[in-house]
Amino acid sequence: MKHDVDVVVLGAGISGSCIAKALAEKQWETALIDRRHFPRHKVCGEFLSPEAQSTLHALGLTETVVSLHPTRIERAKLIFEQGREIELPIPGAAWGLSRYMMDEALHASAVQVGAQLHLSTTVTGIEQHGKGYTVRTKQGTDTNLFHARAVITAWGANSRMAKAGQRPDAAASCRQAYIGVKTHYAGLKMEPVIEMYFFQGGYLGLCPVEDGSVNAAALLNRSEFMKTGKSVLSILEAAIQRNRRLAERLATAVPVHDTQAAIAPVYLQRKPSPWDGLPRIGDAAAMIAPLCGDGMSMALRSAALCAPLADGFLRGSISLLEWEQSYTQAIRQEFASPLRWGSLLQWLMSEPAVQQLLPSAARFAPLLANGLFRATRLKPLEPLEFFTEC
């Protein structure tokens, strides 16, 4: 079957759903495609930072997210392997919200304003031609062709299509490879706080989410933890036992059935990669260290920065080259500093000597600890003309 649309968005996660909604609201025929089924659980901290909220407001999604009853989070607590801890206030309340609920709500918002949603649909090829692009897909035994003027990739850092189109990267083999794992727990009482536990080989965060459950998401050294078991729960259990206080915290907690997920390998990008033949948003464009707690915020922000430029291109007011140049500049301006500081923070937290010194340093110089974490955050989104007109 053939579909003639204005734009195809590849990947129906946070960034893909948001940009599909934004463009469909501008009356562009928009197809949102993902190879996986939804709703489903994904590896994610499920923490919406205060910085994410200004972007949600700009995208017209605040009410949608609030209706899901996210848990309010007011503080962050860092607990180290030796048992020492640091507590930091969060400037403005954050939210805990599962991706299972959020992704489905964002899909509904996009469909409500006219976007087409195609799930369990695999992209088998993308061809560029004089009039735009042809995207070939397969859903079961059905083959479809989408003819579009623009294609936006929101397929994450580990997409098969993204990897197939990547240029060989000599530095990739030198970068640290991680594995991400998550589950929800029941029977765990949480204050309005996100708890981060550090140990040899990685860290694990506990974040309360909307239904009284607690999301446990960990980033772990792949070479160390792939040996600890084949299931998500066995890998998590090996990690939990590396921090005594974490093991005590979860001693009576019960994993919630069918909430487990894993992803590997994970490489933390040191530089944003906003364009590679096609515009890239979400994790495909940039991935900050999960301990910074701003991953979903960056996904939302990339969609908000790309949407007005995509609209301008479709209207004929800017060229494809101008779209690429403006978007690349915007991403680098917004993301370069948080990614740089996030990379530093990731390295610091992996050093045992730093873990021993940081709690004492934070007590004597709290502004230093707060300043380091603030440096990893995005700035509040300035009002964009594109969204104020929506």
Res 170: pLDDT: 40
Cα–Cα distances (Å) from 269 to 211, 272, 289, 338, 371, in that order, read 32, 7, 9, 12, 22
Res 169: pLDDT: 47
How far apart, in whole angstroms, are the C-alpha atoms of residue 301 and residue 308? 12
Q: Has residue 35 been placed in a domain?
A: yes
Res 359: pLDDT: 61
Res 166: pLDDT: 47
Q: Has residue 249 been placed in a domain?
A: no
Domain count, the chain: 1
Q: Has residue 185 been placed in a domain?
A: no
Res 215: pLDDT: 98
Look at the alpha carbons of 83, 87, 90, 93 in this order and tell me if their dihedral is positive or negative.
positive
How far apart, in whole angstroms, are the C-alpha atoms of residue 70 and residue 50? 13
Cα–Cα distances (Å) from 364 to 358, 360, 369, in that order, read 10, 6, 10
Q: Has residue 228 been placed in a domain?
A: no
Q: Has residue 250 been placed in a domain?
A: no
Res 293: pLDDT: 80
Q: Has residue 290 been placed in a domain?
A: yes
Joined together, the tokens standing for residue 171 give 């530095």
Instruction: Residue 161: count other Cβ atoms within 10 Å of its Cβ.
Output: 17
Res 260: pLDDT: 97
Res 86: pLDDT: 84
Residue 370's CATH number: 3.50.50.60
Instruction: Please tell me whether the overall predicted TM-score, pTM, comes out greater than 0.85 for this model.
Output: yes
Q: Has residue 64 been placed in a domain?
A: no
Res 136: pLDDT: 97
Residues 197 and 77: beta-carbon distance below 8 Å: no
Give pLDDT < 50 ranges for the chain: 165-171, 173, 364-365
Domain that holds residue 163: 2-40+99-168+271-388
Res 301: pLDDT: 95
Q: Has residue 236 been placed in a domain?
A: no
